Amino acid sequence: MGTITVGINREWLNDQRIVCYSLEGLTVHAMIEWGEEITKTLGTWPSDSKYLAIHDLSKTGVSLTLLVLTGFNILDPGVTPSAQARVETILRQRPKLEIKLAIILPLSMSGQITTKRGKSSNPNNKQIDSRIYNERESALEWLTAYIAEG
């Protein structure tokens, strides 16, 4: 597991076919660095496979913070407006690239609020499929089905 910035770690799963970002804390500066790292990773993602990612927000105090800092756009893979704009540019340049994003939220009250309020800034983008889960196993099951698909 590698540290992206304070409070954000990256872990590679399934022979580096799934990237998992786990948050333990969040600041505006950390979000900006995280967004930059996401777009770098997406920009170099193999063109013959789907970008499979997990944003693990299950730790206490993370989900509501991200909800507020993203303006409720937790379903956006880019996490900040500028990074999301770069994600959209990459997708326009690579029309066959698909993003499958699993967001893990806690079952706590804050997780329930985040689940109900979370949205995407561009819900009509067919290249992005974001789903909310309450446990890592279910998220991984959904994503690994795309690895088997090829």
Low-confidence ranges of the chain (pLDDT < 50): none
Distance CA 103, CA 114 (A): 11
Buried b (16+ CB within 10 A) or exposed e, 35-45: bbbbbeebeeb
Q: Which domain holds residue 23?
A: 2-149
Give the amino acid at 137. E
From residue 96, alpha-carbon distances to 29, 70, 146, 148 in Å are 32, 27, 15, 18
pLDDT given at position 149: 72
CA atoms within 13 A on the CB side of 118: 25
Distance CA 133, CA 37 (A): 23
pLDDT given at position 150: 58
pLDDT per position as a tens digit, 45-73: 998 889 999 999 999 889 888 888 888 88
The structural domain count of the chain equals 1
Distance CA 33, CA 7 (A): 11
* Full-model pTM: 0.92
- CATH number of the domain where residue 87 is located: 3.30.750.24
Alpha helix stretches (DSSP H) within the chain: 28-43, 63-69, 81-93, 109-117, 136-149
